[in-house]
Amino acid sequence: MTPSIFEELEIAVIEGDSEQCEELAKKSLDQKIPPLDAITNGLAKGVKSVGDKFSKGEVFLVELIMAGDAMKAGMSVLLPEIKASKAEMKTLGKVMLGTVDGDIHSIGKDIVATLLEAEGFEVINIGEDVSSEIFVEKVKEHSPDILGLSSLLTATMPAQKEVIEMLDKAGLKDKVKVIIGGAPTTNEWADEIGADGWAGDAVSAVELVKQLVGGN
């Protein structure tokens, strides 16, 4: 039985084949497959399986890097389609996103950023490995409605807490709502550090932001 386009995307990520990922992403668009489905049911599944193998020591950093690059290559084709899919809308609000200090994971955060833009939010994506001081400076500079902190490492989650504490010290905690996400984070962790919300995936992140902005 020929593998589905989702299985082909998953295999291309597992093999770390960036070129094949790009080709298959284009093929999925030709087949009128919703870009977010190709990401969720194909690319993200591939990178998750590499991550699981990495945690069991069955693959090593190079495979992780190649899988991440392959996923990003596929997303470079699909994310613009998600953005284009939504007609011009008035801005629903301003969201600033970044991955915390010491953490260079970007893929999940960038999907969240794209979905928020497609939904009609203005998104300021300040990248990865962002120090807590820079987060505070950028909040002062841009006055976002929402600040989103992504962390993919257990070791960097404390930086999410530190940003919230520093915003509080700077008298900014009531001026911006802080949400967190990233694979190891949980709702309990969000409550413990005084975040305004937590989301386990990009789609729920958009719902959470709409709720928080709506409730402003």
Return the residue of 104, 137, 143, 169 that touches ligand B1M, per CB under 6 A: 104
Contact indicator for 139, 172 with CB cutoff of 8 Å: yes
Instruction: Output the residue with the shortest Cβ distance to ligand B1M.
Output: 108
181 forms part of the interface with ligand B1M (CB under 6 A): yes
Query: Closer CB to ligand B1M, residue 20 or residue 41?
Result: 41
CB of 198 to ligand B1M, least distance (A): 7
Return the residue of 118, 148, 159, 176 that touches ligand B1M, per CB under 6 A: 148
For residue 130, the SS3 value is strand
What is the C-alpha to C-alpha distance for residues 214 and 122, in angstroms, rounded to an integer?
15
User: Distances in Å between the alpha carbon of 41 and those of 36, 85, 119?
Assistant: 8, 19, 21
Return the residue of 2, 31, 55, 216 that touches ligand B1M, per CB under 6 A: 55
Show the binding pattern over residues 59-98: x = contacts ligand B1M (CB under 6 A), - = does not. --x--xx-xx----------------------------x-
Query: Closer CB to ligand B1M, residue 7 or residue 69?
Result: 69
124 forms part of the interface with ligand B1M (CB under 6 A): no
Sign of the four-CA dihedral 133, 102, 184, 205: positive
Query: Closer CB to ligand B1M, residue 33 or residue 44?
Result: 44
User: Distances in Å between the alpha carbon of 100 and those of 93, 149, 152, 182, 199?
Assistant: 22, 6, 9, 11, 16
Residue 199 C-alpha from the chain's centroid: 10
CB of 168 to ligand B1M, least distance (A): 18
Count of residues binding ligand B1M (CB under 6 A)?
A: 40
Contact indicator for 134, 147 with CB cutoff of 8 Å: no
| Start-to-end C-alpha separation, the chain | 52
Nearest to 70 by CA among 125, 8, 123: 8
57 forms part of the interface with ligand B1M (CB under 6 A): no
Give the residues lining the site for ligand B1M (CB under 6 A). Answer: 44, 47-48, 50-51, 54-55, 61, 64-65, 67-68, 97, 102-109, 111-112, 148-150, 152-155, 179-184, 199, 201-202, 205
